Chain A
Amino acid sequence: MKKIGSLVSRELSVVFRSQSEFIYPVAFFVMVTTMFPLAVSPEPTQLAFIAPGVIWVASLLSLLLSLHAFYQADFDDGSLEQLLLSGVSGYSIVLSKVVANWIVTGLPLVLVAPVIGILLNLDTHANLVAMLALLLGTPSLCFIGAIGMSLTLGLRNGGVLLTLLVLPLFIPILIFGAATVEAASMGRPYIGQVAVLAAALILSGFFAPFAASAAMKISID
C-alpha cells in the first residue's frame, strides 16, 4: 500500500511538472462538446436530448488521449523497465498509473461535466447524476485503457492501434453511462444503470491490472 502511494506520488509529480499533459484532455473535452451545438442545433430541447451522449463520448475520447502520457514516456526512457526490475510488482505499477491517470484526467472531467451540462441545457438533477455516472465510469475507462496501452507500448502505430483495441471494450461503459444520464434527464429511475457501472468498476479494477501487467511484461521483452 505504501509502495503504491509512493508510486502514485511519483506519477503525479512527473505529470504536474509538464502542465500541458494535465490541461490538454480537459481542454479537448470542453472544445469537443462546444462543437455539438454548432454542428447539430442550438435549440435547447434538442441539446438536452443529445447531452448525455455528447458528454460521454467526449470524456471517453479525452481519456483515450491522456493514456499515452502515462505509459509511453516511461517506456521510452526506460524507467518502466527499471521499475519492473526493481522488484515492484506489475500489478502495483499498473494500479498506481491508473490512480494517477484518473486523478489527473478523470477527476477534472467529473468536475467540468456539470458546466458542460449547463451549456447543453441539462437540468440540475440530471447534471448531478451525470457527475455520479462519470465518477463511477471514468475509473473503469482508465483501467481498461491501461490494458490497451500496455499492449501497444513500443509499437510504431501505437496510437491508432490503441483506439482500435480500446474503443470496443469501452462500449459497455459508454452504454450504461449515457443511459444513466438519459434516464435521469427523462425523470425515470436510474439506480439499475448506476449499479451496473459500479459492478463494471469493481470487475475492471480487479482484473485489468493483472492483464495490463502481463501485457506490459510482454511489451518490455
Chain B
Amino acid sequence: MWTWFYQLASPKWFYEISRKLLPWFTGTTLILFLAGLTLGLLFSPADYQQGNTVRIMYIHVPAAYLSMMVYVIMAVAGAIGLVWKIKVAHIVSVSCAPVGAMFTALALLTGAIWGKPTWGTYWVWDARLTSELILLFLYLGFMALHSAFDDKKSADKASAVLAIVGVVNIPIIHFSVEWWNTLHQGASLSKFEKPSIEAAMLYPLLIMIFAFKFYFFTVLMHRVRTEILLREKQAKWVKAMITGETAYSASENTTEAK
C-alpha cells in the first residue's frame, strides 16, 4: 500500500513520471489561461463602480491565493522531508520558494496598481497588505538561508525549519480582513458560503485560479526536474541518460534480463 510513497522518494522515479505528466500540465495550463483571460477580459461585465479596473482582479486574486498556497506546500514538503528524510520532498520545498516569491510580488504589484484608481493610493499600511509583504520577506529569507549553506543537506533541513516557523503568518494573512477593520475588502470567495460575487465574474475568476494552479505545478515540475539533475549528477542513471538515451534504455534492459 505504501509502495507509491517510497517510490515518490526516489528522484529517478519522479523524473520519469514527471516527464510523462508535463505535456498534460502544460496543455491544461494553456487552455485554462486562454479560457480564463478571454472570459475575464472580453466577456465578463465591468464593475458598476470600478468600471474596467476591476479586471485586474483576474490576476490579483489568483496570485494572492497562490502566494499562500505555495507557502503551505513549501512548509509541508519541508516537514515531510525533515520527518521521513525524503530527498524529493526537500527538492520540492526548495523549488517552491522562487515561484511563491514571484506570486507574492505579483499580488503586491497588481494590488498597488489596482489600489491607485480605487483607493486613491498605491500602498496603505493595512493588515492584509503588511502581512502579504511579510510573506514576501519570509520567502526571501528562506532563499537566502538556503543559499548560505555550503552543504545541501543542512541547507534543506535548516530552511525547512524556517518554512515551518513562518507558517504562523498564513492564518494572519487569511483572516486579517476579518480580524481588523481594514481598507482591503473581505473575501469574496468561500468554500462554505454562497460567494458574494456575480456569476459572470465568478466563473472567469475560478478558471483563472485553476490556471494559476496548473501553471504553478508545471513550473514546479520543471524546477524539481532541473534540481534533481543537478543533485544527482553523480548518479548512474543521470550519466546514462545524458550520454545517450539508447545507452540508458540498453542498460535498463540488461538489468531487467538479469
Let me know if B145 and A165 touch, CB within 8 A: yes
Q: Which of A156, A169, A219 contacts B158 (CB 8 A)?
A: A219
Q: Which residue of B lies closest to A153 (CB)?
A: B158
B residues less than 8 Å from A59 (CB atoms): none
Min CB distance B165 to A, Å, is: 5
Min CB distance A113 to B, Å, is: 24
Let me know if B154 and A219 touch, CB within 8 A: yes
The 8 A CB mask of A89-112 against B (1 = contact, 0 = none) is 000000000000000000000000
Let me know if B134 and A155 touch, CB within 8 A: no
Q: Which residue of A lies closest to B138 (CB)?
A: A168
Let me know if A151 and B137 touch, CB within 8 A: no
Whether a CB of chain B sits under 8 angstroms from the CB of A134 is no
Q: How many residues of B contact A (CB 8 A)?
A: 22
Let me know if A164 and B141 touch, CB within 8 A: yes
Please indicate which of the listed interface residues A151, A157, A165, A167 has the most CB atoms of chain B within 10 Å of its own CB. Answer: A165
Whether a CB of chain B sits under 8 angstroms from the CB of A136 is no
Let me know if B154 and A221 touch, CB within 8 A: yes
Let me know if A169 and B165 touch, CB within 8 A: yes
User: For the complex, what is the distance from the CA of A219 to the CA of B166, rounded to whole Å?
Assistant: 19
Within 8 A of A (CB), among B140-172: 140-141, 144-145, 148-149, 154, 157-158, 161-162, 164-166, 168-169, 172
Q: Which 4 A-B pairs give the minimum distances between C-beta atoms?
A: A168-B137, A218-B157, A165-B141, A155-B148
Let me know if B158 and A167 touch, CB within 8 A: no
User: For the complex, what is the distance from the CA of A214 to the CA of B82, rounded to whole Å?
Assistant: 10
Let me know if A168 and B134 touch, CB within 8 A: yes
B residues less than 8 Å from A156 (CB atoms): 148
Min CB distance B83 to A, Å, is: 11
Min CB distance A110 to B, Å, is: 25
Q: A151-B158, A168-B134 are known contacts; what are 13 more A-B pairs with Cβ within 8 Å? A: A147-B162, A147-B165, A151-B145, A151-B162, A161-B145, A164-B137, A165-B162, A167-B137, A168-B137, A169-B165, A171-B134, A214-B82, A221-B154
Let me know if A211 and B144 touch, CB within 8 A: no
Whether a CB of chain B sits under 8 angstroms from the CB of A172 is yes
List 28 A-B residue pairs with CB atoms under 8 Å apart, sorted by A's residue number. Answer: A147-B162, A147-B165, A151-B161, A152-B145, A155-B149, A157-B148, A158-B148, A161-B141, A161-B144, A161-B148, A164-B144, A165-B141, A165-B145, A167-B137, A168-B134, A168-B137, A168-B141, A168-B169, A171-B134, A172-B172, A211-B165, A214-B82, A214-B161, A215-B158, A215-B161, A218-B157, A218-B158, A219-B158
B residues less than 8 Å from A218 (CB atoms): 154, 157-158, 161
Q: Which of A152, A157, A169 contacts B166 (CB 8 A)?
A: A169
Min CB distance A167 to B, Å, is: 7
B residues less than 8 Å from A151 (CB atoms): 145, 158, 161-162
Q: Which residue of B lies closest to A203 (CB)?
A: B168
User: For the complex, what is the distance from the CA of A167 to the CA of B169, rounded to whole Å?
Assistant: 13
User: For the complex, what is the distance from the CA of A168 to the CA of B162, rounded to whole Å?
Assistant: 12
User: For the complex, what is the distance from the CA of A164 to the CA of B166, rounded to whole Å?
Assistant: 13
The 8 A CB mask of A174-190 against B (1 = contact, 0 = none) is 01000000000000000
Q: Which residue of A lies closest to B140 (CB)?
A: A164
